[in-house]
Structure 1
Amino acid sequence: MTGWAAGARPVGIPRLLYVPAAIGFALLLLPVIGLVVRADWPRVPAAITSPEALSALELSLQTATTATVLCAIVGVPLALVIARSGDRVAGVLRALTTLPLVMPPLVGGIALLYLLGRNGLVGAVLEPAFGIRIPFTTAAVVIAQSFVALPFLVIAVEGALRTAGTRFETVAATLGADRWTVFRRITLPLILPGLVSGTVLCFARALGEFGATALFAGNAAGITRTMPLAIYTAFNGAGVSQDSAVALSLLLIVVAVAILLLMRSWRSEPER
């Protein structure tokens, strides 16, 4: 049986399936090609190096990085709780955690306003008691990005935790290691590839966040205008042409592709 399995030919894909596969690939690739063709390439360098574009890119990178760190701090423990809970509890927690993935971003922005806005559930207490106003600030951008990006990290880390299992943790515990030692020395190293993948996806999602940010943080230049909002502003002709919107879109695509290539390179490194 082993010899037959070793010499067996791999099962081929039915040829008919190549047609919908090609359509799916075209659906993903052709819009990007449309952007590339539409771009006014002589004007692209000036558009992406303009003060407005650089300010938006800098703000996006800063807020996305902060949001990713925040997601890692709360997301890894949350993934651990879900992975180590019983099936029923884990199912409920997983469904609630992934809710932002299926919720329209604009609805997420409204929900954040009703939570942290001046008349919100928490915001009504924060501003009068502590003088803290969150909506339409840079902090609001970070919170909105964290809200939509956190599920990506949690799902990746939970999957890594379930794949790793608990065998090594149990052995370490029987040898006298306390819970923090097991977490630091056993659990984290085992889930590191999943943690890195989830962190990169979380960062990429935070970088491209638009809907919740627009409603909850607004569109103030230098304060809350991230790259997606700058693209929206440019496309609607607020002082610049649509060619600038196309150039900014290409810049954001290049940044996203670079992030994904870095992740692929990191994950391929141990196999070399």
Structure 2
Amino acid sequence: MDLGLRGKTAVVLGGSKGIGYAIAKAFLEEGARVAICARKEAELVQVSEELGALGEIYWEVVDVSKEQQVYDFADHVAAKFGTIDAWVNNVGITVFKDGDEFKDADIDLITAVTFKSAVFGAQAAFRYMKRNGGGAIVNISSLAARCPTAGRSTLYGPMKAAIVNLTQTLAGEYAAYGVRVCCVMPGFTVTPAVRATISQEELDYNARGTLLNRLAEPKEIAAPVVFLCGQGASYMTGTTIEASGGRSVTLNPTYSWDEKAKKEQ
């Protein structure tokens, strides 16, 4: 299927690694021009070198929790490419604590990075899409929004649930301007960040909890994201696509990993 993205401009917040990297690569493979941002310049340079052969890519160091930095990034992208056609809000952070352990600083950090970035990103994208007469915004949520896990997603899950609601709300507000807003809800995905924080034993355990008996590769999350930005999804807005290998069908959300592991011993 031709997604109709050739020559279009796609922006990916958090595009330097993991799912964001895969999304940027998928857009380039569809012939789109891509702009990515992240906090670490070295990672952005590496992505540009690795993916530059696939097409035109622009990068910028941005703190996506800062409103003006996100707006400025959008302005720079539009100045370089002329417009913005697709925008993906792919940023999130978590702190592994139980609910009674969180402090103000933890809550502020998770809210700023996970939720504020999506709000600012959507606002920045809408300014240009409104002028263009249309566009597509995709927010990345998480299965934790639907199936929370104690200790893993105590605040991350609620923030990602807010992303789903934000998607629905903005879809209603932006529809009159031809701007579609959708959401993708990944399950466990094997990214560098996941490997750095979760043991192989726990990854294997969670893989067995999916209907497909495996975890996702980043490109399997990128595929529905890019589809939602293309012409094949022209009648889709306000919707959330779950890409979890069927894990929400089998997941018992009332136990943490530690509790489940103890029960199996």
Report the TM-score when normalising by structure 1: 0.25
Answer with 1 or 2: which has the greater Rg: 1
- Higher RCO, 1 vs 2 (CA within 8 Å, ≥6 residues apart): 1
Structure with the larger helix share: 1
Report the TM-score when normalising by structure 2: 0.26
Structure with the larger strand share: 2
